[in-house]
Amino acid sequence: MRLLLVVAGLLPALLLAKGFEAGVGRVDITPTKPIWLSGYASRTHESDGVLLPISAKALALSDGRSKVVIVTMDLVGFSQEFADVVTVRAMKAYDLPRASLMLNASHTHTGPVVGRNLLIMYNLTPVQEARIHEYTAGLEEKIVWVIGSALGQMRPVTIEFGQTEAGFAMNRRQPAASGFTNGANPKGPTDHTVPVFEVKGADGKPMAVLFGYACHNTTLTGQIYEISGDYAGFAQKEVEDAHPGAIAMFMQLCGADQNPLPRGTVELARKYGHELGGQVNAVLADSTRRKKVAPKLKAVFRQTELTFAHRSRQDYEKELASNDSTARKRAKAMLANWDDKLVRRLPYPVQAIRFGNGPVLLALGGEVVVDYSLRAKREYPKTDLIVAGYSNVVPCYIPSLRVLKEGGYEGGGAMLYYGQPGPFDETVEETIFSAIHKVMKDVK
Residue 17, pLDDT > 70, answer: no
CA angle 327-333-336, nearest 5°?
135
In 3D space, the residue among 244, 249, 242 whose CA is nearest the CA of residue 209 turns out to be 249
Banded pLDDT at 405 (limits 50, 70, 90): very high
Residue 2 has pLDDT above 60, yes or no: no
Q: Tell me, what's the pLDDT at 324?
A: 92
| This prediction's pTM | 0.95
**Residue 262 preceded by cis peptide, ω within 30:** yes
Identify the pLDDT of residue 50: 98
Min mean pLDDT across 37-41, 117-121, 130-134, 286-290 is at: 117-121
Q: Domain tally for the chain? A: 1
Examine residue 7 and state whether it is found in any structural domain, yes or no: no
pLDDT band (50, 70, 90) for residue 340 = low
Q: Is residue 90 part of a domain?
A: yes
Cβ(258)–Cβ(151) below 8 Å: no
pLDDT-derived band at 10, boundaries 50, 70, 90: very low
| pLDDT for the residue 72 | 99
Is residue 151 classed exposed, middle or buried when 0-12, 13-18 and 19+ CB atoms within 10 A define those classes? buried
Tell me the C-alpha distance between 115 and 127, whole Å.
14
Q: Is residue 429 part of a domain?
A: yes
Per-residue pLDDT of 26-64, as tens digits, reads 999 999 999 999 999 999 999 999 999 999 999 999 999
pLDDT at 343: 73
In 3D space, the residue among 116, 139, 110 whose CA is nearest the CA of residue 43 turns out to be 110
The SS3 call for residue 306 is: strand
Instruction: Say what the pLDDT of residue 341 is.
Output: 61
d(CA 20, CA 321): 59
- For residue 178, pLDDT beyond 90: no
pLDDT surpasses 90 at 396:
yes
Res. 228: pLDDT tops 90: yes
Is a pLDDT exceeding 60 seen at residue 16? Answer: no
Is residue 388 one of the residues assigned to a domain?
yes
Looking at the chain, the whole-number percentage of residues with pLDDT higher than 70 is 95
Nearest to 35 by CA among 44, 46, 43, 45: 46
Closest CA to 106 of 367, 397, 303, 403: 367
- Measured N-to-C along each axis, helices 80-94 and 126-151 cross at an angle, to the nearest 10 degrees, of 30
Q: What are phi and psi of 325, to 5 degrees?
A: -65, -35
Query: Whole-angstrom Cα distance, residue 90 to residue 84?
Result: 10
| Residue-number span of the structural domain to which 282 is assigned | 20-308+343-444
- Classify residue 20 as left (phi > 0), alpha (psi -120 to 50) or beta: beta
* Per-residue model confidence (pLDDT) at position 413: 96
Report pLDDT for 342.
66
pLDDT tens digits for range 341-391: 667 899 999 999 999 988 999 999 999 999 999 999 999 999 999 999 999
* 144-155 mean pLDDT: 98
CB-count burial class (<10 Å; 0-12, 13-18, 19+) for 95: exposed
In the chain, pLDDT over 90 holds for what percent of residues? 92
Of 11-25, 38-52, 167-181, 393-407, the one with minimum mean pLDDT is: 11-25
User: Is the distance from CB of 353 to CB of 364 less than 8 angstroms?
Assistant: no
Average pLDDT over residues 301-312: 96
Give domain status of residue 261, yes or no: yes
Overall average pLDDT of the 184-190 stretch: 98
Q: What is the pLDDT of residue 44?
A: 96
Mean pLDDT score of the chain = 94
Q: Is 69 within the bounds of a domain?
A: yes
pLDDT score for 311: 92
